[in-house]
Amino acid sequence: MNIPTDLKYTESHEWVRREADGTLTVGITEYAQDALGDIVFVELPQVGKAFTAGDDAAVVESVKAASDIYAPVSGTVTAVNQSVADAPDSINQDAYGAWLFKLQPTDAGAVDKLLDADAYGKTTDN
């Protein structure tokens, strides 16, 4: 399984990439998309919506199940990836390229408390 070392992770299988402008790009990991199977629907949050870390922020549905996607840190949604909502199977093709939403974190340092690739790998028995 692919676990890029330049990303941060949550135990609930979201990945987080810190952008140069201070925003955080969020998606689901390869492990999560593999467990879900064929993804058929994605519900994205509204731009401008504020979340507390751990809040339900989005939903990904597959032929097997629906799964909540959680805000990895507290912040406000600044962008959503409409192309993923229009073509949900793009997550199955490239889990780390098919981001879901971007957050402006309330606390920029909060991302540092997330899991690194090694720690995340241990949660997936990799």
Q: Domains in the chain and their CATH numbers?
A: 8-107 (2.40.50.100)
List, in sequence order, every beta strand (DSSP E) within 20-124: 24-28, 39-43, 50-51, 56-62, 66-70, 75-80, 101-105
What confidence tier does 126 reach under pLDDT thresholds 50, 70, 90?
low
Q: What would the pLDDT profile of 9-31 be if each residue is shown by its tens digit?
A: 999 999 999 999 999 999 999 99
- Tell which phi-psi region holds residue 76, choosing left (phi > 0), alpha (psi between -120 and 50) or beta: beta
Which pLDDT tens digit goes with each residue over 29-60? 999 999 999 999 999 999 999 999 999 999 99
Q: With a cut of 90, say whether residue 1 has pLDDT above it.
A: no
Give the pTM.
Answer: 0.95
Q: Supply 17's token pair.
A: 């990439």
